Homo-oligomer: A and B are copies of this chain.
């Protein structure tokens, strides 16, 4: 039943990809069978994350440009955690990439996700796996490092690029622990700004002791993405790491992480939060509410 759609994916048919993604988004009947019928794939997934305004989309744009020049096919998944505080910044960022929307070798899809209960959104896992079934050479997943999304992306990507700007110096000491820990490569973008060299120096110093359990140093690459400076080095470094890394342990961990979230989604599917609120409201009105007695009834 799903063979035709799978074949469409394998042929890189855009309408087939769109239809498959809709299937997953709507959890249409039988979509789980469809996912089970997808062939295995080794397409690398590259995560690009970092705070809003760091230039992630410009970096992704440069990535696409280089890959297309090399006659490669690339899919980009843009994940927008909905937040009233940075909606503007994200939208502004995305405009740059739109130049690629109609290019035959590029597939771009934006997903708005409310920071879902329970972490890594299972839909993102599933859509990434659909893209992996297509003849793309590279899949880029771009997400803003707000709240928990930086940890989410690390559970999804074979290699995570964290994009920072020189001004981020202070933040690194404080807020970005999550962001720092997921990086396989650091990019210091807008490297023509004052303090860039000092920032790179501090970053390298900081990565020393805390990362001593890692096998190799984490590359720090300076870019001025708006001028295409440094992008080639970045793409080469990514390719190099992907080629040399034979990190089966990490691959297994990623799969286990994905499995955990998919199982959770399946098992919690019948628990609707709005229904919980209503049920609790009724119980409270009846008096003598105990949360642990309540959950035992579900």
Using a CB–CB distance below 8 Å, which chain A residues touch chain B? 32, 35-36, 38, 40, 51-53, 83-86, 115, 117-119, 129, 145-148, 150-151, 167, 170-171, 173-178, 180-181, 210, 248, 252-253, 255-264, 266-268, 271, 273, 276-277, 280-281, 284, 288-296, 298
CA distance A69 to B165 in the complex (A): 47
Q: Known pairs A248-B284, A255-B289, A256-B277. 20 more at Cβ < 8 A?
A: A32-B296, A35-B291, A36-B296, A38-B292, A51-B174, A51-B175, A53-B173, A53-B174, A84-B210, A85-B181, A146-B178, A148-B148, A248-B281, A252-B280, A255-B280, A257-B273, A258-B291, A259-B291, A260-B268, A263-B298
Q: Once the chains bind, are B255 and A291 in contact (CB under 8 Å)? A: yes
Q: Once the chains bind, are B115 and A151 in contact (CB under 8 Å)? A: yes
* Minimum CB distance partner of A147 in chain B: B178
Known: A146-B177, A267-B267. A259 touches B276 (CB 8 A): yes
Interface centre among A36, A151, A210 (most CB of B within 10 A): A36
Query: Across chains A and B, which 7 residue pairs bring their CB atoms closest together, nearest first?
Result: A147-B178, A148-B148, A35-B292, A85-B177, A256-B276, A51-B174, A83-B177
Q: Which residues on B sit within 8 Å (CB–CB) of A291?
A: 35, 129, 255, 258-259, 262
Task: Give the residue of B150, B260, B288 whose beta carbon is less than 8 angstroms from that of A271.
Answer: B260
Task: Give the residue of B258, B276, B296 whose beta carbon is less than 8 angstroms from that of A260.
Answer: B276
Known: A175-B51, A175-B146, A259-B280. A290 touches B253 (CB 8 A): no
> Separation in Å of the A169 CB from the closest CB of chain B?
10
Main secondary structure of the interface of A (DSSP, over half): helix
CA distance A294 to B129 in the complex (A): 14
CA distance A257 to B289 in the complex (A): 15
Q: Which residues on B sit within 8 Å (CB–CB) of A180?
A: 85
Q: Which residues on B sit within 8 Å (CB–CB) of A293?
A: 36
* Minimum CB distance partner of A264 in chain B: B268
